[in-house]
Structure 1
């Protein structure tokens, strides 16, 4: 072979000399020895020995831990969604109800109230005040549901396991009342704007111009003029809403539903939540209605007092004016709220509400 070509080709590929041949067997032995040494060194490593010489799969995200800050935050979001959406959705009913409370001579009953409103203001009149309703009740729902779950757990821990079970209804009532105080402070300014927009034609178009108009005329205090009757309306309402709901759901699973709650499907549990919420809503409407009339009267009448409201409406009117419509409205509202709230809890990995005593710390 030509020497110039040989220089371009590795000699072990064409050489006839045994001493110049590439020793494949020796290379294989050396490679095996190196591989064995590598495995030996890895097996002696404590970290690798404990995990195994494998690539670990990424861990799956865990569910939200019960009674953690993330759980309370999730409950607040669920409460905001449930209250904000439902109250905004029934704005037409709310507009008629408020006008029946303020001007019963003109808005005599439900059917005539809808007729008068449609004739004078058209379809858009039924949605007056939707913006303060959405913002106000979203804030209220976040505080109401989020803090209820927090206070329920806190009061259960204070009571201890035995008394938390024995006096669970008192814990439901105390937890809901505490949460509602905070929720009312968040709601009150928007409720003041909502009532005036809905009952005073020409006052304002909505939240953006109604809020500064009240502040300019009456100061920030004007936004909280109705706080006392609002607390009087909302605290009994919320105590009934949570206390009766928890009890109704617990009784349903105990006496009416043969299958334990944890063995029922999530969709079935959500159906129970809606039914229990609707029943609780009827009770809520009855106990909170007098204060609801006061809130509407005071927010609509500048400088008016509770005494003025009682004198003008009378005790019978205070308890009954607009009540049938409010029962329809609050029953539907509360049932839907519990359905949305528990659906969101299921979505984020939390259990539905009710059918178990408050969990106390061990």
Structure 2
């Protein structure tokens, strides 16, 4: 009886040792695989950040003019069109005026772009995995609608994470040398808004941003990826070389994606920008709440901002700044997508967004 107990105990001990050894082996393999995975994540984030910084700096003058057109008082017009607006900024503020707020914009867009591209890749993987499980088809691919969903998720995550920087960037962009109150930079603007208007002020206009980012970022990714996929599979225009699309073709796909996305979401961008200016009494040439230049700018919410804008300025006010934004967004989105893929190639990351 005792010998049987000893035998049983010995077998249990051997089994435990074997199990522990197997677990240790799996853990060591996990550490080995986590290293390259972590490095790949870092490379993906770097590629997304570089893409955002390069694309936004390239179109910084148009970005500033767009914001100035969105919020200017219709009874005190200084900026009347793209060419005239750029000339006016150059004449009154010089070369540096064209890039005012770009430092803040890059400080926001670099992490925003990094998180956005990475979130899109991760959301795409998760959605594809869930879709394959639901359909039972292990070879299923992302449809344009599923890409739209992944892009929407990425846009909401990235925008929410960096929204205070966007709000501050808007104010730094609008102020001029003649503004009574001057923000000296990003940190000073953040601290001033927190002290004078409270923490909630940093998220003014967040709701229209969330609503707007779904069609904007979602359509950007969905149109870009679907166009690329269609061109690679059909080769309709003989644009495929060595199973790859040229940089020019990818730029064209990015341009089409940017045009579709920004046209659908632009009115929400105008409302967001106007809501961000609420509470800032020293903004230069900013539209007033009643449209007559007498009452201070004040909106009770997104719906109220829409209502007042259309009532006092007409439906066309929702598309103020669309021309410079269209000129800006086409190369901006195109450059961002192509730069992202090129940087990932340079860094040696095998997986790209279209994979």
TM-score range, shorter chain: 0.7 to 0.9
- Shift of residue 276 of structure 1? 0.9
Greater Cα radius of gyration, structure 1 or 2 = 1
Whether the aligned pair in 2 keeps the contact of 1:188 and 1:224 (CA below 8 Å) is yes
1:313 to 296, 309, 315: 309
Residue 240 of structure 1 and its aligned partner are, at CA, apart by 0.6
Q: Which residue of 1 aligns with 2:23?
A: none
Question: How far does residue 72 in structure 1 lie from its aligned partner after superposition?
Answer: 3.5
Q: How far does residue 88 in structure 1 lie from its aligned partner after superposition?
A: 2.9
The two structures, once aligned, show a CA RMSD in angstroms of 2.5
Is 1:276 the equivalent of 2:253?
Answer: yes
With over 3 angstroms needed to count, the CA separation of the structure-2 counterparts of 1:342 and 1:220, relative to structure 1, is same
* 1:234 is aligned to 2:206: no
Looking at structure 2, the residues matched to 313 and 326 of structure 1 have their Cα atoms a distance apart, in angstroms, of 19
**Worse-superposed segment, 147-156 or 158-167:** 158-167
Distance change in 2, residues 1:164/1:135 (3 Å):
farther
Asked if structure 1 preserves the Cα contact closer than 8 Å seen for 2:168 and 2:189, the reply is yes
TM-score, normalised with respect to structure 2: 0.74
Alignment partner, residue 223 of structure 2: 244
**Count of aligned positions:** 288
Instruction: Give the TM-score normalised by structure 1.
Output: 0.73
Q: What is the deviation of 1:226?
A: 2.0
2:85 aligns with: 113
Distance 1:163-1:279 versus aligned 2 partners, 3 A rule: farther
2:120 corresponds in structure 1 to 148
Corresponding residue number in structure 2 for 1:131: 103
2: CA distance, partners of 1:333 / 1:284 = 12
Q: 1:318 to 1:291 in 2, by over 3 A?
A: farther
1:241 is displaced (CA, Å) by 0.5
Please point out which of 185, 193, 214 is paired with 2:168: 193
1:321-357 per-residue CA deviation (whole Å, 9 max, x = no partner) reads 2112111111110000011001012113325443x6x
Equivalent in the alignment of 1:330: 329
Please state how far the C-alpha of 1:163 moved relative to its aligned partner: 7.7
**Residue 107 and residue 313 in structure 1: after superposition, are their counterparts in 2 closer, same or farther (change >3 A)?**
farther
Cα 1:353/1:182, change in 2 over 3 Å? closer
Alignment of 1:4-153 (within 5 A): 68-103=37-72, 104=74, 105-153=77-125
Runs (5+) with no aligned partner, structure 2: 1-32, 280-297
Deviation at 1:113? 1.3
Q: Is the 8 A contact 1:269 1:352 kept in 2?
A: no
